[in-house]
Amino acid sequence: MPPSTARLRTEAGLSILHRPTHTIVTSGGDIDTATAPVLRERLLGMLGAGMRLLILGLSRMSLCDVAGPTVCTEYLGRVPGPWRGRP
pLDDT digits (tens, 9 = 90+) for 20-73: 888 898 988 888 898 889 888 888 888 767 677 888 898 888 889 999 999 988
Question: In this predicted structure, what is the pLDDT of residue 75?
Answer: 86
Is pLDDT of 5 > 70? no
pLDDT surpassing 70 at residue 16 = yes
Using CB atoms within 10 A of its CB, is residue 4 exposed (0-12), middle (13-18) or buried (19+)?
exposed
Is residue 8 over pLDDT 80?
no
